[in-house]
Chain A
């Protein structure tokens, strides 16, 4: 399984802070996103937003980054701290 977590405005829009997806046939962050859209079509607009950032195991990564079972994948809006 792959753990997926959402933060801030994205979490509120999706109404979900975390869930798990089957790792079968998933190799990249982009494929995690596609899997989520398949199971939650209403999330499509928010997950496809071009400014959305992603992280795997606490490192910011691109959509083509590799993922595997046991990884934690995060999706969140651009950061605004400081």
Chain B
């Protein structure tokens, strides 16, 4: 359990408090627990958004997330990692993604958490379709996400 990795791609919602409890349970050595939670916001590029539809590539998604977590484990002294990503239709305000990382000290947990999110954005096969007042549109990838991930290579 000490070095457990949990990856879940799921339609149903998750409970932040429960996920933090699992990261902390029987884990007295890790003083740092860093969590990130992404939610559906109500505006994008000036458009009013009322929801998202999320598609993924079953099998490859889980593998790519496991690869990203493994890369993080090679770079920082982290122990437990949880990544949850939701799929299907989500309304504004709903939770989309959770990344939780534990380590003895905060630096490793902060850095690894951000690294996992940055690479999830450009490597994990998820696609978002925005549901707007004018119709439903697939989101284009943003160059800024590529640039953000590249910063880890410098």
Contact = CB atoms under 8 A, between A and B. Distances in A.
| A and B co-occur in one complex | yes
Interface residues of B, number: 28
A76 B125 contact: yes
A46 to B, nearest CB: 13
Interface in A1-45: 5, 7-9, 12
A73 B123 CA distance: 16
B126 A77 contact: no
Contact of B117 (A9, A74, A82): A82
Contact of B141 (A5, A55, A74, A80): A80
Interface of B: 38, 54-57, 59-60, 63-64, 85, 96-97, 117, 120-129, 138-142
26 contacts: A5-B57, A7-B127, A8-B55, A8-B138, A55-B60, A58-B60, A58-B63, A74-B57, A74-B60, A77-B138, A79-B126, A80-B121, A80-B127, A80-B128, A80-B138, A80-B140, A80-B141, A81-B54, A81-B120, A81-B126, A81-B127, A82-B38, A82-B97, A82-B120, A82-B121, A82-B126
